[in-house]
Chain A
């Protein structure tokens, strides 16, 4: 019954590797997001997808690429991982691309790059 789910929950990897984080929502929402929360708990938007179209791409390195195979999924692929990529990554979704709509967050993926 989980509304927004992410896998894996924890990810420990070596610098330079390529990894993916998966996100799925079963709410029938049109818009999905990826956020990064750093070690100081600061939360920042990375990407947003609305009906498979990229809407937001903040100042995120192009090593990060969101991929949406369908409306219910928004995966985050990271190439050439760096130490500074260590963080908690949250997926979220909302009914439509409108800030008045509630965003529902997943439980987070804790990424540690060694």
Chain B
């Protein structure tokens, strides 16, 4: 069965600094991989997704992620963080048996002024 691990529960970065959020997955074949963002009190919004092809994926809001099969990772990056990026970030993998996706536990990002 597929699973996702987000090793960092909470990360704090300074505004303007670079960001990398880690995501490791377990999946028997080539996975579908996703990053979602959840702002306080809001639903989830898709940042980017990977199905096949180029392993470096560009998303919205200046985010990118790189699929590394050898490391079973799909880390999310942003070169310069803005205060509005403070949120909870979820990595997800699929498809599962029911064509669903399995979410990680999330990483909470705090941005210092």
Looking at chain B's contact residues, the main secondary structure is loop
Contact A99 B88 (CB under 8 A): no
CB-defined contacts of A27 to chain B, threshold 8 Å: none
Q: Which residues of B contact A102 (CB under 8 A)?
A: 46, 49
Instruction: Bin the interface of chain B by size.
Output: 20 to 34
How many residues of chain A have a CB within 8 Å of chain B? 23
Q: Chain B 91-113 against A: per-residue CB contact (8 Å), 1 yes, 0 no? A: 00011001111010110000000
- Asked if B32 CB lies within 8 Å of chain A CBs, one says yes
- A residues whose Cβ falls under 8 Å from a Cβ of B: 4, 40-45, 48, 55-56, 58, 90, 92, 97-100, 102-103, 105-108
Which B residues are closer than 8 A to A by beta carbons? 32, 41-46, 49, 51, 88, 90, 94-95, 98-101, 103, 105-106
